Amino acid sequence: MKQNLTTGKEWKVITAFALPLLIGNILQQLYNIADSIIVGQFLGKEALAAVSASFFTYYFIISFVIGIGSGITVVVSQYYGAKQYEMVQRAFSSFFIFMLVAGILISITGIIFAEPLFRLSNTPEEIIPAAVSYFQIYIGGTFLFVTFNSIISILRGMGESVKPMVFILISTLLNISLDLLFILLFGWGIEGAARATVVAQGFGMCLALWYVRDKHPLLSIKKKDLVFDFRLFKDGLKIGLPTSVQQCAIAIGLLALLGIVNRFGTDTLTAYGAAGKIDTIITQAILTLSGALAAFCGQNIGAGKLDRVRNGVRFGLIVDVLLSIITFTAIFFWGANMMQAFTDDPNVIAIGKEYLLVIGGFFVIHGALNIFNGALRGAGDTFFTMLVSVLCLWLIRIPLAHYLSDIMGRSGIWWAIGLSILIGCLITGTYYRLGRWKKHSVVRS
Question: What tens digit of pLDDT does each residue of 139-189 get?
Answer: 998 888 888 888 887 887 777 778 888 898 899 899 999 999 999 999 998
pLDDT (mean) for 184-204: 92
| CA atoms in the 13 A half-sphere facing the CB of 233 | 11
In whole angstroms, give the CA distance from residue 267 to residue 443. Answer: 51
In whole angstroms, give the CA distance from residue 252 to residue 295. Answer: 28
344 CB burial (10 A radius; 0-12, 13-18, 19+):
exposed
Q: Find how far residue 161's CA is from the centre of its chain.
A: 16
Q: Which residue has the higher pLDDT, 364 or 277?
A: 364
Lowest mean pLDDT: which of 41-45, 63-67, 413-417? Answer: 63-67
Instruction: Please give the pLDDT value at position 419.
Output: 96
Nearest to 42 by CA among 229, 263, 192: 192
Percent helix, strand and coil across the chain, each to the nearest 5: 85, 0, 15
In whole angstroms, give the CA distance from residue 277 to residue 228. Answer: 37
Are 1 and 268 in contact by the 8 Å Cβ rule? The answer is no
In the predicted structure, residue 62 carries a pLDDT above the cut 80 = no
| CA atoms in the 13 A half-sphere facing the CB of 131 | 32
In whole angstroms, give the CA distance from residue 79 to residue 369. Answer: 26
Q: pLDDT confidence of 276, banded at 50, 70, 90?
A: confident
Q: Find how far residue 304's CA is from the centre of its chain.
A: 29
In whole angstroms, give the CA distance from residue 221 to residue 227. Answer: 9
The mean pLDDT of the chain is 84
pTM of this structure: 0.70
Nearest to 441 by CA among 342, 301, 344: 301
In whole angstroms, give the CA distance from residue 250 to residue 248. Answer: 5
Cα torsion angle, 393, 30, 374, 103, sign: positive
In whole angstroms, give the CA distance from residue 169 to residue 203. Answer: 12
**DSSP label of 9:** -
In whole angstroms, give the CA distance from residue 94 to residue 116. Answer: 33
In whole angstroms, give the CA distance from residue 302 to residue 279. Answer: 34
- Residue 29's H or E segment, with its range, is helix 10-43
CB burial readout 222-250, b (16+ within 10 A) else e: eeeeeeebeebbebbbbbbbbbbbbbbbb
In whole angstroms, give the CA distance from residue 143 to residue 99. Answer: 8
Write down how long the chain is: 445
pLDDT (mean) for 6-21: 80
Instruction: Please give the pLDDT value at position 445.
Output: 45
| CA atoms in the 13 A half-sphere facing the CB of 139 | 30
Percentage of the chain modeled with pLDDT above 90? 29
Q: pLDDT confidence of 405, banded at 50, 70, 90?
A: very high
R_g of the chain computed on alpha carbons? 21
CB burial readout 42-62, b (16+ within 10 A) else e: ebbbbbbbbbbbbbbbbebbb
Instruction: Please give the pLDDT value at position 99.
Output: 83
Measuring CA to CA, how many Å separate 195 from each of 169, 178, 208, 378?
18, 8, 20, 35
Question: Tell me, what amino acid is at 376?
Answer: L
Are 13 and 81 in contact by the 8 Å Cβ rule? The answer is no
Q: pLDDT confidence of 31, banded at 50, 70, 90?
A: low
Measuring CA to CA, how many Å separate 429 from each of 273, 418, 424?
29, 16, 8
In whole angstroms, give the CA distance from residue 279 to residue 327. Answer: 9
The pLDDT tens digits for 330-371 are: 999 999 999 998 888 999 999 999 999 999 999 999 999 999
